[in-house]
């Protein structure tokens, strides 16, 4: 079995920036909550860095969401798209 490729072939997208904004958290506050440097949060949000499984679980616990609500292999649709889709249904 060959290792899973990362990077452009299989990126990991996340909603960290949007979730922080919804909850009024700064990068520093989120970093504090999961015991990392604020620069790590910035790198995750930009997609420059992928979290370890442990860090992904800690981040999800802060938001009270499952991993698949925060991280995905496919880009997330804008939140407004989801809200209007549900409202029209």
Query: Hey, which CATH number is domain 13-71, 3.40.50.300, 3.40.50.970, 1.10.287.130, 1.10.260.40?
Result: 1.10.260.40
Question: Could you read off the pLDDT of 4-38 as tens digits, one per residue?
Answer: 556 567 889 999 999 999 999 999 999 999 999 99
Domain extents in the chain: 13-71
Q: What is the mean pLDDT of the chain?
A: 88
Instruction: Count other Cβ atoms within 10 Å, centred on residue 49.
Output: 14
Calpha distance 41→31 (Å, rounded): 6
pLDDT band at 2 (very low <50, low <70, confident <90, very high): very low
pTM of the model: 0.80
């Amino acid at each position: 079995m060959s290792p899973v490729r990362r990077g452009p072939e299989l990126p990991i997208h996340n909603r960290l920036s949007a979730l922080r904004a919804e909850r009024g958290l700064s990068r520093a506050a989120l970093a504090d909550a999961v015991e990392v440097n604020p620069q790590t949060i910035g790198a995750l949000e930009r997609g420059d860095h992928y979290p370890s499984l442990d860090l992904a679980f800690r981040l999800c616990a802060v938001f009270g969401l499952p991993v698949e609500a925060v991280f995905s292999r496919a880009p997330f649709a804008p939140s407004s798209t989801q809200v209007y889709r549900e409202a029209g249904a």
